[in-house]
Amino acid sequence: MANIIFLGLVSFFTDLSTEMVYPLIPLYLTSAFGATPAIVGIIEGIAESLTSLLKVFSGYLSDKFQNKKLIAFTGYATSLFYKLALLLAGSWTGILGARVIDRFGKGIRTAPCDVLVSESADKNSMGKSFGLHKALDMAGAAIGILITYFLLRGSDGNFDYAKIFMISAIPAVLGLCMFFFIKEKKEPRQPREREPSALPFQAASRKW
């Protein structure tokens, strides 16, 4: 159970960090770089598409190299580099690069993290383990948005984006520190046979 809690804390701190920044990106693009709504949409489209594509490859790499912890750590570490890229960005293309870094990390960490959770849970507590992990993940996202709300509320309309980006890097570092307490099972995983279908494929297709 300790592994599940630490994996949940990784997601908690990382999502807290990410959600402190994510709602500000459209505002930052339009106010700082004069980006149009179309550019904002293109940036998010490219970033989210990359996430979906990389989830397939991260799962394959996790199975092939049996080093799920390292792959997950690499994916979560990009959350910190994302904040640094935002601070260094001098145009909307720089923000695009930062968003690609962030979504690249999201794409490669999801599958190995899920495997680490499943390997850390026994057969009778799988649902509870994933539920706890997801609850901490969502709690971090909610708190991150709340923190940004209070930071902006006291700014009198003069948003110091760089300050928020720097503050958001702190929970990202805390999330990475949790990996020191996570233990990975190194035993090779044996593929399981698929359960037989209730109806053969041909028989099922004839019913349609």
Residue-wise pLDDT tens digits, 154-205 = 666 677 889 899 999 999 999 999 999 988 876 655 555 555 555 454 554 5
- Does the pTM of the predicted model rise above 0.75? yes
Residue 189 contacts residue 24 (beta carbons within 8 Å): no
The b-or-e profile of 58-71 (16+ CB within 10 A means b, else e) is bbebbeeeeebbeb
Query: How far apart (Å, rounded) are the C-alpha atoms in residues 75 and 50?
Result: 13
Residue 203: its pLDDT value, please?
A: 52
Q: Which fold has domain 2-187?
A: Growth Hormone; Chain: A; (1.20.1250)
Domain ranges of the chain: 2-187
Instruction: Determine phi and psi for 122, rounding to 5 degrees.
Output: -85, 170
Three-class SS state of 65: helix
- Flag whether pLDDT at 117 surpasses 60: yes
Residue 89: what are its φ and ψ, rounded to 5°? -65, 135
Q: Are 172 and 17 in contact (CB under 8 A)?
A: yes
Q: Lowest-confidence range among 32-36, 51-55, 124-128?
A: 51-55
